């Protein structure tokens, strides 16, 4: 909900909102990417990953797997924090994707890209 509030407070609009909950898998992340990017009005994907139960390496694997198999020109902005974060960042970095530490910066970047 904080992510949604930050986007709205910055005069942005959220077209699709997906909450995956705890113990998400890389396959679930890949399916979430598919669902979000199937919406024709999507201009930017903002992903806020917080991992206690969810492992950031698995989330990164799902994201990169989807993008490898379904290349898109739609920017993907990721904020990542939690379990296996260093490995998740390494996976994303190897795919040319930056992961932000700060949610405020990630929201700002996503809003900038959407305009």
Instruction: Look up the CATH number of the domain holding residue 99.
Output: 3.40.50.261
Query: What is the pTM (predicted TM-score) of this model?
Result: 0.91
Average pLDDT for 78-100: 96
77 burial (CB, 10 Å; 0-12 / 13-18 / 19+) is buried
Tell me the C-alpha to C-alpha distance, in Å, between residue 104 and each of 76, 100, 108: 15, 9, 6
Model confidence over 29-66: pLDDT tens digits?
999 999 999 999 999 999 999 988 899 999 999 999 99
Domain extent, residue 44, equals 2-114
pLDDT score recorded for residue 115: 87
The separation between the first and the last C-alpha atoms of the chain, rounded to the nearest angstrom, is: 22
pLDDT score recorded for residue 21: 80
Q: What's the number of domains the chain is made of?
A: 1
CA distance 91 to 114: 25
Q: Is the pLDDT of residue 15 over 90?
A: no
> What H or E segment, with its residue span, contains residue 79?
strand 76-82
């Amino acid at each position: 909900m904080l992510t949604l509030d930050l986007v709205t407070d910055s005069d942005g609009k959220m077209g699709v909102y997906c909450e995956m909950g705890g113990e998400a898998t890389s396959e679930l992340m890949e399916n979430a990417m598919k669902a979000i990017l199937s919406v024709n009005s999507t201009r930017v994907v903002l992903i806020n990953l917080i991992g206690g139960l969810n492992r950031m390496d698995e989330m990164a694997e799902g994201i990169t797997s989807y993008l490898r198999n379904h290349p898109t020109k739609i920017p993907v902005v990721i904020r990542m924090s939690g379990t296996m974060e260093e490995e998740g960042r390494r996976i994303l970095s190897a795919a040319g994707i930056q992961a932000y530490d700060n949610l405020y910066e990630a929201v700002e970047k996503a809003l900038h890209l959407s305009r």
